[in-house]
Amino acid sequence: MTSQPPPPPQPEQPAEAVPTCYRHPDRETWVRCQRCERPICPDCMRDAAVGFQCPECVAAGNKGIRQARSTFGGNVVRTPIVTYAILVINVLVFGGQYLSDAIVGQLAMWPAGVALGDQYYRLISAAFVHGGVFHILFNCWALYVIGPYLERAFGHVRYTALYLISALGGSVLGLWLDPLTQPTVGASGAIFGLFGAVFVVGRKLNFDVRGIAVLIVINLAITFLVPGISWTGHIGGLITGSLLAGALAYAPKNNRTLWQVLVIAGALAVLAVLVMVRVSAILSAA
């Protein structure tokens, strides 16, 4: 009985190369991106509907996803940081007033200082100075209550523009109608602008606006009945804030951002022209 010779030895198969992460070549991995099939390590894995994707594929996919926007076109606001920042600035400036009496004189709205001293910064800086504890408490309370609502509706940038331009509108009316030597302070112009904005936004969204309407009427009554309150700042801020909020809220949805930018720029231009005309008139009469 003959036996079969043993089979010839087979050549050794080369060991399969261990794949490494395409972003971290020193890391071995057997996981691949479900989209581009490149190997990815745990640090580069991003959860997908099935399996994992690499960071580049996730970023490319997100480009085609429409980002969430606020009610009137701004970025979604989770924390109203602008409102909080304004509150902090108000408190810090008010604290500084106790350390130096000069702060009020340097920052207050003073028509003569604007027109004759070229101190145009007073048109805005006055909104961060207050005349007493009750004054700052009321303004800060009102800002804390309604500021976050409007900041979430408009987004950080539009809300900031609304606040500052309302303050500017109050100062501009004061520049036109207040005595040249009468200083005024306070964020009330900006706050009244926010009151008007809440009313406009409520109407736009079909909310019940009777509460804010009553609040506006009560504060207007206080403005004219209590001596020493700057009615020009309140009325100027209310008119400016209401008009600007209406233009932002009712801007066409097509190219809404462009329309809103034009509205903000137009409001600033109108107020700047009013300032220049009034300053020229004061200088001519001086």
Q: Which of 188, 230, 242, 284 is an active site residue? A: 188
Q: Which of 234, 242, 280, 284 is an active site residue? A: 234
Give CA–CA dist 130/230, Å, rounded. Answer: 12
* Residue indicated by tokens 């509460």: 211
Determine the length of the chain: 286
Give CA–CA dist 170/238, Å, rounded. Answer: 8
**In what helix (H) or strand (E) does residue 54 lie, and over which residues does it extend?**
none
Give CA–CA dist 228/111, Å, rounded. Answer: 17
User: How many other C-beta atoms can be found within 10 angstroms of the C-beta atom of residue 94?
Assistant: 20
DSSP state of 109: B
Give CA–CA dist 130/189, Å, rounded. Answer: 12
Residue 188 bears catalytic tag: yes
User: How many other C-beta atoms can be found within 10 angstroms of the C-beta atom of residue 13?
Assistant: 6
Give CA–CA dist 43/29, Å, rounded. Answer: 11
Give CA–CA dist 176/268, Å, rounded. Answer: 16
Residue 130 bears catalytic tag: no
Cβ-Cβ contacts under 8 Å for 210 (sequence gap 6 or more): none
Residues assigned a catalytic role: 188, 234
